[in-house]
């Protein structure tokens, strides 16, 4: 079977966005602050489908217009087009699917991703051009669907699938989540051009960089996180096989920097120490970074990570007020944050803290306290967002208890303030992010620290991007 897997174009246009045609060394076509990374989800699916004998093509919407997607369908003649969908992209995807289905009525259209995980058959109700919805880990669901379509088999036996049949919507049983991640082939990275990707500021030290995963899922249940849609604790790959993949990518693509896409790379201490041991034994010539929790690190572990090439950890701190952390069910304390960040600095690993404004019950004054807390922590990088309301999360199901949503899309971006808690007004919320950026990044002490930590042309690249972003803001 011929399959085209895509991420949606960033805008509903028939031509490249103007900024995409002006790619430069500084912004690489994505603006000064943001970046883009390879779509690992669909690349994993592509690898599984190829093992089954299907012919697979990939188009990343970060580099494509609607016209490019349309041309790909004409050239490759796929029988199935699969689209990765998030809450933010859903409205756009509905337009794209409707347009393409009208032009290619004999092509099947399928969606998967974080929003279909939450909406399931509701996606079919809202989008008449859609034929199938996959919910859960997509690799085996889409494999079974393609095999069934190829052999004209019974779709009722494809678990994790919702579809239309005789004018009705059918929702099958869920597919169990993948427990043996090592059974999956490595992502089909050869279907994209890895040289075109560059992560956001604070997410790389050297280029070329690429993403990799060592686990899926998360044992924590924060009320705002889309990971909680799936009832899963963390599942881990064999550290030896993760190191095998890193070694392969270094040899084949000359990768110098890995960004681990795991939710919590240090949650399993035995696992991370075994991975560090593998990296050191092989003397892999690359650095790496990932996401962690302040309560899941200590100096001894961080020291081993540093020896193995870890240069930065991103911590979901979210607030400098304990009450607000507790509302989010973060399961961490202000003191743990202080100790975890201090241990990170002691191990000479860069710290990146993420913070949220507009938490249910948060006041404007508490938002300012969070900014001051971020500054006192002396973080190397800080990211300030507004509260995201993601479909299927506990917060989304109960948001009316805490505030109002002014825009579904804005509430997905975590930047535009689409959710306003009752304890803060819209104007106050809009003021917090620019205040945070200026107070945190325009300090003389911070600027001097960044200059002193400039190690190579790639870290200089980030500093220049960041500086120009402020000048233009």
pLDDT recorded at residue 88: 86
What topology is assigned to 199-472 in CATH? pyruvate-formate lyase- activating enzyme (3.80.30)
**321 is written with which tokens?**
């007020």
What CA–CA distance (Å, rounded) separates 236 from 254? 26
What is the per-residue pLDDT across 204-236, written as a single tens digit (0 to 9) for each? 999 999 999 999 999 898 999 988 888 777 899
pLDDT recorded at residue 460: 64
| DSSP SS3 for 65 | coil
The domain segmentation of the chain, as residue ranges, is: 2-171, 199-472
Contacts of 269 (CB under 8 A, 6+ apart): 296, 301
pLDDT recorded at residue 231: 76
**345 is written with which tokens?**
């600095």
**H-helix or E-strand spanning residue 245:** helix 239-253
Contacts of 310 (CB under 8 A, 6+ apart): 276, 287, 288, 289, 290, 302, 349
pLDDT recorded at residue 227: 86
pLDDT recorded at residue 463: 61
For the chain of 473 residues, list the mean pLDDT of each consecutive stretch of 10: 94 45 47 76 98 97 92 97 93 95 98 95 97 97 97 93 94 95 98 92 91 94 88 90 98 97 95 98 97 96 98 97 97 97 98 97 98 97 93 92 89 80 95 95 90 71 60 52
What CA–CA distance (Å, rounded) separates 193 from 4? 16
| DSSP SS3 for 288 | strand
| DSSP SS3 for 210 | strand
Residue 8 near residue 61 (C-beta atoms within 8 A):
yes
Query: Distances from the Cα of 457 to the Cαs of 125, 211, 453, 467, in angstroms?
Result: 50, 20, 12, 15
| DSSP SS3 for 386 | strand
Helix axes 90-103, 66-76, angle to 10 degrees: 40
Helix axes 426-441, 457-472, angle to 10 degrees: 140
Residue 32 near residue 466 (C-beta atoms within 8 A):
yes
The strand pairing partners of 419, in sequence order, are 405
Q: Which CATH superfamily is domain 2-171 in?
A: Cobalamin-binding domain (3.40.50.280)
The strand pairing partners of 385, in sequence order, are 356
Contacts of 293 (CB under 8 A, 6+ apart): 220, 264, 266, 267, 315, 316, 332, 340
Distance of CA 267 to the CA centre of its chain: 18
Asked whether the domain spanning 199-472 has the same topology as the one spanning 2-171, the reply is no
Helix axes 40-51, 138-150, angle to 10 degrees: 40
pLDDT recorded at residue 23: 46
């Amino acid at each position: 079977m011929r399959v085209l897997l895509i991420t949606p174009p960033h805008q509903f246009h028939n031509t490249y966005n103007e900024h995409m045609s002006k790619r430069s060394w500084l912004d690489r076509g994505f603006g000064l602050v943001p970046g883009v990374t390879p779509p690992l989800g669909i690349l994993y699916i592509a690898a599984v489908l190829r093992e089954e004998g299907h012919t697979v093509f990939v188009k990343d919407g970060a580099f494509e217009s609607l016209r490019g997607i349309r041309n790909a369908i004409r050239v490759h003649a796929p029988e199935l087009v699969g689209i990765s969908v998030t809450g933010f992209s859903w409205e756009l995807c509905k337009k794209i699917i409707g347009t393409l289905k009208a032009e290619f009525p004999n092509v099947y259209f399928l969606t998967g991703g974080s929003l279909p995980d939450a909406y399931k058959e509701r996606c079919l109700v809202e989008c008449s051009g859609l034929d199938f919805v996959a919910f859960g880990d997509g690799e085996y669901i889409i494999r079974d669907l393609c095999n069934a379509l190829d052999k004209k088999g019974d779709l009722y036996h494809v678990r994790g699938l919702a579809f239309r049949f005789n004018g009705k919507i059918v929702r099958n049983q869920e597919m169990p989540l993948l427990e043996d991640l090592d059974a999956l082939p490595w992502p089909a990275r050869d279907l994209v051009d890895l040289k075109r990707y560059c992560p956001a500021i604070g997410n790389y030290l050297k280029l070329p960089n690429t993403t990799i995963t060592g686990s899926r899922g998360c044992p924590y249940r924060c009320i705002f996180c889309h990971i909680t849609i799936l009832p899963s604790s963390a599942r881990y790959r064999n550290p030896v096989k993760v190191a095998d993949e890193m070694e392969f990518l270094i040899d084949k693509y000359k990768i110098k920097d890995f960004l681990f896409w795991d939710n919590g790379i240090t949650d399993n201490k035995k696992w991370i120490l075994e991975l560090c041991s593998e990296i050191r034994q092989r003397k892999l010539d690359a650095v790496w970074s990932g996401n962690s929790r302040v309560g899941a690190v200590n100096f001894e572990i961080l020291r081993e990570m540093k020896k193995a090439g870890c240069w930065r950890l991103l911590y979901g701190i979210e607030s400098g007020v304990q009450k607000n952390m507790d509302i989010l069910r973060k399961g961490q304390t202000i003191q743990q944050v202080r100790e975890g960040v201090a241990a990170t600095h002691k191990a000479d690993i860069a710290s990146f803290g993420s913070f949220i404004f507009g938490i249910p019950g948060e006041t404007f004054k508490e938002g300012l306290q969070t900014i001051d807390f971020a500054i006192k922590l002396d973080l190397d990088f800080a990211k300030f967002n507004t509260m995201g309301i993601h479909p299927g999360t506990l917060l989304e199901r109960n948001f009316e208890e805490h505030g109002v949503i002014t825009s579904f899309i804005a509430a997905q971006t975590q930047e535009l303030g689409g959710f306003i808690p009752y304890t803060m007004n819209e104007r106050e919320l809009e003021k917090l992010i620019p205040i945070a950026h200026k107070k945190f990044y325009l300090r003389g002490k911070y600027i001097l620290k960044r200059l002193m930590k400039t190690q190579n042309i790639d870290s200089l690249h980030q500093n220049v991007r960041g500086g120009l972003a402020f000048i233009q803001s």
